[in-house]
Chains A and B, each alone.
Chain A
Amino acid sequence: MRLSIDKLSKAYGFLWALRDIHLELQSGQLVALLGPNGAGKTTLLKLFAGLILPTAGSIQLDGATFAPGALDLRRKVGLLSPADHLYENLTVSENLRFFASLYRRRHSPAALVQTLESVNLGPRRDDYVANLSSGMKCRLSIAKWQLLQPELLLLDEPYGVLDGSGVDLLEGFLRAHCAGGGVVIMASHHVSRVLQLCSHALILHQGRLTFNEAKQQPWPSFDRAFSEFLPHGGS
């Protein structure tokens, strides 16, 4: 899988949320998307997900351009937004079945149960999503994307609602996803956790991509960029 972003810009009215982003990502990369609040991280994820259209530039997935109506490309992209994108008045298993049908993924009932067991939601499969905690909803989202198997998985601040075992579960899933040839882009403010996990880091600042490098050990260029743009960030 290859993701190419060329001269990507997004404006909301007169405000440029993103300017001239160039990026090339390959299979197996786990990318940390960092930056202060308002840097444009969520806008970039929404553009990758096709939920908003760019003002200029293009996003290509395996050579095919993201455009309205490019429905086949959408099957390749997933957005894990913790505790979101689930129907509250459907049960845990009904949600999974609904989204699996929507993505035309056929799974046996046993596979569905097994996926729920893997995120420790097996005993809650007949509960309404409305009755789950935020952490459990996030676990259900992980189960959902395990089933749907997108090639490009986007995550927006996934750590906030998960407990310790939930974080281990998420990181195991992301590592397996990349090992299987997928690409992960994760926006987060939990810098130290993300840096341990990622193979690549991007820093956005005021809508511009100011840092784009593969992980090194040690990583002085990242430390410089990080201290310049996130002087008070926790690490």
Chain B
Amino acid sequence: MSLLSETFLLLRKDLLLELRRRDSLLTMFFFGTLLLFVFHFSFDLPPDKVAEMTPALLWLAFLFTGTLGLAQLFNAERENHCLDALLLSPLDRGALFLAKTSFNLILMVLVEIVVIPLFWILFNLNSWNLLPQLFLVTFLGTVGFCVLGTIMAAITLKARARELLLPLILFPLMIPIILATIRCMENVLRTGELGDALPWLRLLLGFDVIFLTLGVLIFDWVIES
């Protein structure tokens, strides 16, 4: 069985379990929405500050929401020692990494599809025509978050205070992604195009490709040690 078919098998299983339990998606969705309302009532942004401030607020919501999802990423494997059952099998550990990353990415994208338009409405952003570019930037940032987050979630899997440890080691490593995504979004909101933010977009792409490759290569060591 190839890496991709193993990935698909595991992803299918994770989606089926999520469809039955719905705990990760619902928690992430409600938490993300709640944060937007908190930001909405806390900040009264002047129009000239909107482009500067909103990307950071939006990414703050994604970071917290995504971390909530990452903390539950291996819940199904913790039950009944199912992770041991997977590690006992001839499964390529890279497939486990790709499946968990894809699963988390699907959850995050579903949450973003609801949260971003809601954010636009709450903060009276009229630039609806910019949404496709912003979705592209957000997607690349989310891929980076999920790739790195899956590696860190696996590293902290057996730690006692994993829910506390995960953001502590993940957030500093996320700085390049957050910075690049926020700069790209800010540029799009200010000028209506990516233009000057292209180097940041390249950084984002490079980060995604490097960590995705690294994850596939080192995940056996990460998950088995």
Residues of A whose CB lies within 8 Å of any CB of B are: 49-51, 53, 68-69, 71-72, 74-75, 77-79, 81, 83-90, 94, 98-99, 101-104
Contacts and interface: CB of A to CB of B under 8 A. Distances in A.
Contact of B9 (A49, A78, A81, A101): A101
Interface string B70-111: 000000100111101111111110000000000000000000
A87 B13 contact: yes
Interface string B14-51: 00110011000000000000000000000000000000
A160 to B, nearest CB: 16
A79 B82 CA distance: 12
A174 to B, nearest CB: 18
A212 B78 CA distance: 35
Nearest to B10: A102
A71 B16 contact: no
Question: Which 4 pairs across A and B sit closest by C-beta, in order of nearness?
Answer: A85-B85, A71-B90, A74-B90, A75-B90
Contacts of A68: 220-221, 224
Q: Among B9, B80, B84, B87, which residue has the most Cβ atoms of chain A within 10 A?
A: B80
B28 to A, nearest CB: 18
A99 B85 contact: yes
A84 B81 contact: yes
Contact of B88 (A50, A90, A98): A50
Contact of B80 (A49, A87, A99, A103): A87
B95 to A, nearest CB: 10
Given A74-B90, A84-B81, A103-B90, A90 B17 contact: yes
B1 interface: yes
B80 A84 contact: yes
Contact of B220 (A69, A72, A78): A69
Contacts of A104: 1, 90
A72 B85 contact: no
Q: Among A49, A69, A79, A101, which residue has the most Cβ atoms of chain B within 10 A?
A: A101
B96 to A, nearest CB: 11
A148 B91 CA distance: 14
A51 B84 contact: yes
B16 A77 contact: no
B82 A87 contact: yes
Contact of A86 (B80, B221, B224): B80
Interface string B184-197: 00000000000000
Given A68-B221, A72-B90, A98-B9, A86 B82 contact: yes
Contacts of B16: 90, 94
A77 B88 contact: yes
Given A50-B88, A79-B84, 4 more contacts: A78-B88, A87-B82, A90-B13, A99-B85
Nearest to B87: A51
28 contacts: A49-B88, A50-B88, A53-B224, A68-B220, A71-B90, A74-B89, A78-B88, A81-B81, A84-B84, A85-B84, A85-B85, A86-B82, A87-B17, A87-B79, A87-B82, A88-B79, A88-B80, A89-B17, A89-B76, A90-B13, A90-B16, A94-B16, A98-B13, A99-B85, A102-B89, A102-B90, A102-B91, A103-B89
Contacts of A53: 224
Q: Among B6, B16, B84, B88, which residue has the most Cβ atoms of chain A within 10 A?
A: B88
Nearest to B84: A51
A78 to B, nearest CB: 8
B82 A85 contact: yes
Nearest to B95: A102
A103 B91 CA distance: 8
Contacts of A78: 88
A100 B224 CA distance: 22
Contacts of A101: 1, 9
Contact of B76 (A50, A72, A87, A99): A87
Contact of A85 (B20, B21, B81, B224): B81
B88 A74 contact: yes
Contacts of B20: 89
